[in-house]
């Protein structure tokens, strides 16, 4: 028998779906006629391709952008979300998957296994706090870790916030005076003052009386040059990313416009905004990856991002949609250290998977753990991985890859484009070694300077699993 929490969750989900379908049916033609939605936009490149991701929450720590996302399952029709994922980058074009960083299993008090909605992670006093909403009136929980990678643990054993069925999409601002605020809500904005421990609050929960124009859900609050900003999913449905500004963290908020316009490819949305090495970036999500393979609609979303530019008066320049080329690369990638195979600027065909390798072959006799691995899978003929802006400096002599052969095949490593010159060919010439990891090496043809690199896979089917790669610099010739 369903619990009250489960019934509330199902009813809320049904209401949200009905509301969005009706609004889309009624308003979409108006958006298109008025030009607020973009028609016939060119194909985009979501920054994550191996999984369906949504609700991006970027955080900068130690010169790295950590990107926490929700996770739409590959077979999702409606919202089917069980865990949260983590990706990271130092150049804003190549993103490395860390894997699952937390899940609903972290909370003993959550009564269901589907409902891992939009989170945000912040750092304070050397601790990392992951704020997690549980839809259906269950509340907003918090997890704590000593590292942005986790492991995260529930310090409370109960919700931090349990106020109403609107308790979704938390976002955190730590102001210059040290006061932290949490904002959340759909279709109204709520906020509360957090204590310094970040796992309790003081004062009353306030429903913000000046909910900004076109506000729907997914607030994201930050401060710049003494001004407060609130971005949010706007103009449902479809949803773009709108924003409002204020002179105070508690409002009133005044609508200023759209950061990213609504589009037929962004039926829902959720902003995440961050400054990194002197530039600002706006993240959101779309159905771009799904629409590459089907005209049908499922809740299988993909995170996009682009540079965000301020005007001299502090307002933000509008972007019709995410650009095809994406942001500029912040710094080149070093190929002369181990690079995880799940580091990519773009890929076609492949997926990723986590697995623990044990000494033994049986569940009841595993022996010692050898390694926890996250690796690239589903590799077939013609699939490829693109890594952008690889700096070979004065040249490379050889390349080494770690793979687990299935039917075997080859990796053609090409420069600058998918059919560009072959700089190395790695021959994985053994088979039936799934779960057993081996390294293969190949000589590298002359290449210097910075190039995009394509790992193009050749063979028949189910070639191998791919864990990591590394180039080795050219040695100076002896006179």
The Cα–Cα gap between 33 and 30 comes to 5
294-300: average pLDDT: 91
Tokens 């033609």 appear where? 29
Beta strand 254-260 with 240-246 is: antiparallel
What pLDDT was estimated at residue 367?
A: 81
What pLDDT was estimated at residue 44?
A: 53
Burial of 265 (0-12, 13-18, 19+ CB in 10 A): buried
What pLDDT was estimated at residue 21?
A: 37
- Per residue in 158-204, pLDDT (tens digit) is 999 999 999 999 999 999 999 999 999 999 999 999 999 999 999 99
Ranges 312-321, 341-350, 367-376: which has the least confidence: 367-376
What pLDDT was estimated at residue 12?
A: 47
Cα-based distances in Å from 239 to 19, 36, 83, 269, 475: 13, 11, 24, 6, 54
Inform me whether the pLDDT recorded for 34 exceeds 50. Answer: no
What pLDDT was estimated at residue 291?
A: 87
Backbone φ and ψ of 177, nearest 5°: -85, 5
DSSP string, 296-308: S--S--EEEEEEE
pLDDT band at 304 (very low <50, low <70, confident <90, very high): very high
45-64: average pLDDT: 96
Inform me whether the pLDDT recorded for 144 exceeds 90. Answer: yes
- Token pair of 133, please? 């909403």
Burial of 291 (0-12, 13-18, 19+ CB in 10 A): middle
Inform me whether the pLDDT recorded for 23 exceeds 60. Answer: no
Ranges 24-28, 216-220, 261-265, 339-343: which has the least confidence: 24-28
The Cα–Cα gap between 274 and 276 comes to 6
Residue 104 contacts residue 112 (beta carbons within 8 Å): yes
- Token pair of 45, please? 């490149």
Backbone φ and ψ of 23, nearest 5°: -65, -40
Q: What is the pTM for the complete model shown?
A: 0.91
What pLDDT was estimated at residue 47?
A: 96
The Cα–Cα gap between 50 and 29 comes to 33
Enumerate helices (H) and strands (E) in the chain, giving the number of each: 2, 30
Higher-pLDDT residue of 216 and 2 is 216
The Cα–Cα gap between 409 and 464 comes to 8
Closest CA to 264 of 237, 290, 283, 298: 237
283-310: average pLDDT: 93
Inform me whether the pLDDT recorded for 33 exceeds 80. Answer: no
Residue 87: beta bridge partners? 67, 97
Q: What does DSSP assign to residue 250?
A: T
What pLDDT was estimated at residue 359?
A: 72
What pLDDT was estimated at residue 35?
A: 32
Higher-pLDDT residue of 49 and 7 is 49
The Cα–Cα gap between 98 and 104 comes to 18
Backbone φ and ψ of 97, nearest 5°: -85, 130
């Amino acid at each position: 028998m369903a619990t009250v929490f489960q019934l509330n969750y199902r009813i809320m989900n049904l209401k949200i779906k009905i509301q969005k379908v009706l609004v889309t049916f009624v308003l979409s033609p108006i958006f298109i006629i008025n030009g607020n939605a973009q028609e016939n936009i060119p194909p985009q490149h979501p920054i994550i391709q191996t999984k369906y991701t949504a609700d991006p929450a970027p955080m900068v720590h130690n010169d790295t952008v950590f990107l926490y996302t929700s996770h739409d399952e590959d077979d999702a029709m409606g919202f089917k979300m069980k865990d949260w994922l983590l990706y990271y980058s130092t150049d804003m074009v190549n993103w490395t998957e860390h894997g699952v960083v937390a899940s609903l299993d972290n909370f003993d008090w959550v009564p269901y296994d589907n409902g891992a909605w939009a989170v945000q992670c912040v750092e304070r006093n050397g601790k990392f706090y992951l704020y997690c909403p549980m839809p259906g009136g269950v509340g907003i929980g918090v997890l704590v870790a000593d590292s942005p990678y986790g492991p995260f643990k529930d310090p409370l054993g109960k919700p931090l916030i349990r106020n109403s069925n609107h308790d979704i999409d938390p976002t955190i601002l730590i102001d210059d005076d040290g006061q932290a605020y949490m904002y959340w809500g759909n279709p109204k904005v709520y906020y509360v003052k957090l204590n310094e421990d970040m796992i309790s609050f003081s004062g009353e929960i306030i429903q913000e009386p000046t909910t900004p124009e076109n506000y729907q859900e997914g607030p994201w609050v930050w401060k710049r040059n003494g001004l407060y900003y609130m971005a949010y999913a706007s103009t449902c449905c479809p949803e773009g990313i709108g924003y409002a500004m204020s002179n105070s963290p508690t409002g009133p908020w005044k609508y200023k416009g759209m950061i990213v316009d609504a589009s037929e490819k962004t039926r829902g949305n959720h902003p995440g905004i961050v400054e990194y090495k002197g530039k600002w970036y706006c993240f959101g999500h779309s159905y771009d990856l799904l629409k590459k393979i089907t005209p049908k609609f499922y809740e299988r979303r993909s995170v996009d991002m682009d540079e965000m530019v301020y005007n001299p008066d502090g307002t933000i320049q509008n972007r019709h949609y995410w650009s095809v080329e994406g942001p500029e690369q912040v710094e080149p990638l070093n190929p002369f250290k181990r690079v995880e195979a799940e580091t990519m600027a773009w890929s076609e065909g492949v997926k990723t998977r986590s697995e623990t390798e044990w000494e033994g072959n049986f569940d009841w006799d595993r022996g010692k753990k050898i390694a926890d691995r996250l690796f690239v899978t589903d590799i077939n003929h013609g699939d490829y991985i693109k890594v952008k802006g690889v700096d070979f400096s004065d040249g490379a002599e050889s390349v080494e890859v770690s793979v687990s052969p299935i039917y075997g095949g080859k990796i053609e490593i090409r420069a600058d484009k998918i059919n560009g010159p072959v700089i190395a060919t790695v021959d994985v010439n053994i088979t039936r070694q799934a779960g057993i990891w081996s390294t293969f090496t190949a000589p590298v043809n002359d290449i210097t300077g910075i190039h995009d690199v394509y790992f193009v896979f050749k063979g028949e089917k189910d070639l191998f699993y791919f864990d990591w790669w590394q180039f080795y610099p050219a040695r100076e010739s002896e006179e």
